[in-house]
Amino acid sequence: MGPFEIAAIAIIGGLAYSAYEVHSKNKNKVSSKDVDDLKLELNNVKQRVATLESIVTDKSYQLKEQIDRLK
């Protein structure tokens, strides 16, 4: 192997390593828009769960369940 091949391999290796470093630094970054979207969705889910909890713990719902079990 000649000096030109060794130089080419060293340059290609250096470029590949720097590309890997950039990829490693950027793969965990999340945009603030994505975070805001997830927070909004989480709040919506929390509201839905609260609504469902209030329905299930309502005495009329429990009474209807007891009547349905008697049938």
Q: What is the pLDDT of residue 5?
A: 87
Amino acid 28: pLDDT:
76
Question: Token pair 């994505």 is at which residue?
Answer: 34
CA–CA gap between residue 22 and residue 27 (Å, rounded): 9
Q: Cβ distance 61 to 55 under 8 Å?
A: yes
How much is the pTM? 0.50
pLDDT value of position 32:
83
pLDDT tens, 2-37? 888 888 889 999 999 999 999 888 877 778 888 899
Tokens representing 58?
């309502």
Q: Where are the domains of the chain?
A: 1-29, 31-71
Q: How many CA atoms lie within 13 A of 58 on its CB side?
A: 10
**What band does 38 get if pLDDT is binned at 50, 70 and 90?**
very high
Q: Give me the mean pLDDT over the 36-44 stretch.
A: 95
